[in-house]
Amino acid sequence: MSPLDRASTAVVTGGSRGIGQAIADRLRADGHRVTVLDVQAPEAGSGDWLPCDVTEPEQLESAMATVAERGGGIDVLVNNAGLISPRRSYLETDKAELLRYLTVNAVGYALATQAAHPWLVASDRGCVVNVASRTFFTGGPGQLAYVASKGAVLGMTRVLARELGAHEVTVNAVLPGQVATPGTEQYNTEDDFDRTMAQQAIRRRTRPDDLAGLVSFLCGPDARMLTGQTLVCDGGGLLH
């Protein structure tokens, strides 16, 4: 079966909750055949799911092969699986914590892209979207390990855009602001969200479906010449 003879097949890592779930739901609504790779099962009725730890290459390779066999290939990869951090001084951030965040939030993205590579380059519409964070630009005081890992994602995005461009595979990064999800609400108060919103040009909270809409565009036919870019979705909180 050639790519043109089938529906697009998409993989979303970390797609069982929050932003990842919103992205998976939107891509599914757009007509993609979506499989979520996550260590946590999605809610009932949320579509295909394979248990997978993105820090384990063997698990990723097995999962990607299963997805490709079921769908006839892999056209879209959304790297979203990651850890959110509490705030603490960099002096209290030890080596183990640094390595844990870098391994999950950055190395996991690289490993997932490597595992999907054979099918992405064979597709006529290959697309990789990396979910990063605007804290790379704002500094995110108290989040050394988290911000360092997201900065690595931005560098990786540019390298992959260059390397995969020869196969017309697009690679872009989306950077959410402070999105209200169970993960972010664990470490932020209502006052924190209100302070962030007060700095935005559009003064409402950024929602998971705002990010999902941006990812939908990047995975669609109108974004085929857009690659290597860093797109901030935060209602104009960060202007650059």
Q: Which residues are catalytic?
A: 146
Decide: 179 and 151 in contact? Cβ < 8 Å: no
Burial group, residue 127, by CB count within 10 angstroms (0-12, 13-18, 19+): buried
Decide: 32 and 9 in contact? Cβ < 8 Å: yes
Strand partners of residue 232: 175
Strand partners of residue 90: none
Decide: 47 and 28 in contact? Cβ < 8 Å: yes
Distance of CA 189 to the CA centre of its chain: 24
| Distance of alpha carbon 167 from alpha carbon 65, whole angstroms | 20
Q: Nearest CA to 79 among 102, 50, 57, 110? A: 110
Q: What is the DSSP string of 177-211?
A: -SB-SHHHHTT--HHHHHHHHHTSSS-S-B-HHHH
**Cα-trace Rg, the chain:** 17
